[in-house]
Amino acid sequence: MRTRTAILAAVAAGALLASAACSVEKDDPAAANAACGPDRQYLIGMSQANNAEPYRQVMNNDVTTAAEAVKGFEVVVADAAQDNSKQVADVENFLTQKINLLIISPNEAKPLTAVVKKAYDAGIPVIVLDRKVEGDAYTAFIGGDNVAIGKAAGEFYATRLLPDGGKVIEIAGLPGSTPAAERAQGFRDGIAANPKIQIVASQPGDWLREKGQSVADALLKAHPDAAAIYAHNDPMAEGAYLAAKAAGLDKKIKFTGIDALPVPSGGIKAVEEGRLAATFQYATGGREAVDLAKKILIDCSKDVPRSTTLGTQQITAENAKDVYAKLGGS
């Protein structure tokens, strides 16, 4: 019996492949996507690296919300759950579904380059979000500029938060990650204008709220006279706030974060509720990607910007409520 199962399974698997081989070259992928213009239906594939990160969840929301407003756009989202192989398969499945445009936020550059090129070569416009792929086989890249964000934060410290100077504790992102390095560098550029500001400590919080809390716990023991804590993201800033509160220092110290996600647990709400002094938006690019898609598919524009750098926005108590509403937070 076992024998028969085995043989039949092998035959079945072979047949699967054989049928694939027989029906070769039936479709011409380029033809399906050549057309553009209004009053047509378009299927857009959104390949996300990892839905489990709130930032990426917001990115998905931005894409789907923006697409709903465009007549003829339908978005399908696939989650690679941080697995490169899975993301490759996701894009392959999109190609099977004959999507008209691909938006991808790659998990890692190198492993996704080939499949993105495959889509691009098949005549499908590709918009790459946040993280890049290698080479030039894509239509457009949209991403934030972490150096600029860090610099904006630094300038905010130099002119508004600590015009008279003071000691600053930095809680950095995961060591070795590019955003952490860039947000640190930009910040130092920004505070250079005010020599009275001094970074007395910098420790990694690995992007995590709990790690931010434990690091701040320790650093506040060493530097109870700190005037502000600069965290590389909002969750770590919130963690630092909790640590300061436990030490009775929360009224004395100012906290700032980065990301400003328009979600209830995000930085904008924390600013609105007074825990953080400010946060700086790291835009998801979701809306911008849909705008670009609209230009490519509906306006038949051949001339779209190859690379778009998203600006940041400073969120303080004055504008928190408005920005939250504007970004579609719920």
Partner 1 sequence: MTLLKTPPALARLTGGRRELVDRLFAVQSLVALLVVFIVAILASPTRDGEILFLTAGNLGNIVRAVSEIGIIAVGMTFVVLLGGIDLSVGAILGLSAVGTATLMVDSGYGIAPTVPAVLAIGAVIGALQGYATARLGIQSFIVTLAGLQVARGLARIWSGGLGIPIAYGDGPLQAPPAFEILNGSINGVVPVPAVLFLAVGVAAIVVLRTTAFARHVYAIGGNEKAARLSGVPVTRVKVAVFAVCGLLAAVAGVIHAGQLNQGSPNDGAGYELDAIAAVVIGGTSLSGGSGSMGGTLAGALMLGVLNNILALNNIDANVQLLIKGLVIVAAAGLQRLRRGVA
Looking at the Cβ atoms of 3 and 330, the one nearer to partner 1 is 3
Site for partner 1 contains 137 (CB under 8 A): no
Q: Mark the segment that binds partner 1 (CB under 8 A) among 9-17, 138-146, 198-206, 261-269.
A: 9-17
For the bound state, the minimum distance from the C-beta of residue 225 to partner 1, rounded and expressed in Å, comes to 36
Residue type for 28, please? D
Number of residues that bind partner 1 (CB under 8 A): 49
Distance (Å, whole) CA 330 – CA 328: 6
Helix or strand holding residue 199 (H, E) = strand 197-204
Among 13, 35, 192, 218, binds partner 1 (CB under 8 A): 13
Residue 167, helix vs strand vs coil: strand
Among 54, 57, 72, 77, binds partner 1 (CB under 8 A): 77
Distance (Å, whole) CA 222 – CA 114: 50
- The CA–CA distances, whole Å, from 65 to 59, 104, 106, 161, 281 equal 10, 16, 21, 35, 19
Distance (Å, whole) CA 173 – CA 109: 20
Among 9, 218, 222, 300, binds partner 1 (CB under 8 A): 9
For the bound state, the minimum distance from the C-beta of residue 140 to partner 1, rounded and expressed in Å, comes to 23
Among 57, 65, 72, 93, binds partner 1 (CB under 8 A): 93
Site for partner 1 contains 7 (CB under 8 A): yes
Distance (Å, whole) CA 191 – CA 90: 44
Residue 172, helix vs strand vs coil: strand
Looking at the Cβ atoms of 93 and 198, the one nearer to partner 1 is 93
Q: Give the dihedral sign, CA 26/30/36/41.
A: positive
Site for partner 1 contains 16 (CB under 8 A): yes
Q: Residue holding tokens 């506040």? A: 220
CB 107, CB 114: distance < 8 Å: no
Site for partner 1 contains 84 (CB under 8 A): yes
Site for partner 1 contains 59 (CB under 8 A): no
Q: Residue holding tokens 């300038």? A: 155
Among 57, 113, 308, 313, binds partner 1 (CB under 8 A): 113
* Residue 132 neighbours by CB under 8 Å, 6+ apart: 106, 109, 141, 143
Site for partner 1 contains 330 (CB under 8 A): no
For the bound state, the minimum distance from the C-beta of residue 181 to partner 1, rounded and expressed in Å, comes to 14
Among 4, 164, 302, 330, binds partner 1 (CB under 8 A): 4
Site for partner 1 contains 34 (CB under 8 A): no
Site for partner 1 contains 88 (CB under 8 A): yes
Of residues 171-190, those binding partner 1 (CB under 8 A)? 176
Q: Mark the segment that binds partner 1 (CB under 8 A) among 95-103, 193-201, 271-279, 302-310.
A: 95-103
DSSP 275: S
Name the token pair of 305.
């910007």
Residue 283, helix vs strand vs coil: coil
Distance (Å, whole) CA 269 – CA 329: 10
Site for partner 1 contains 95 (CB under 8 A): yes
Site for partner 1 contains 114 (CB under 8 A): yes
- Interface with partner 1 (CB under 8 A): 1-10, 12-14, 16-17, 19-27, 32, 51, 76-79, 81, 83-85, 88-90, 92-93, 95-98, 108, 110-111, 113-114, 176
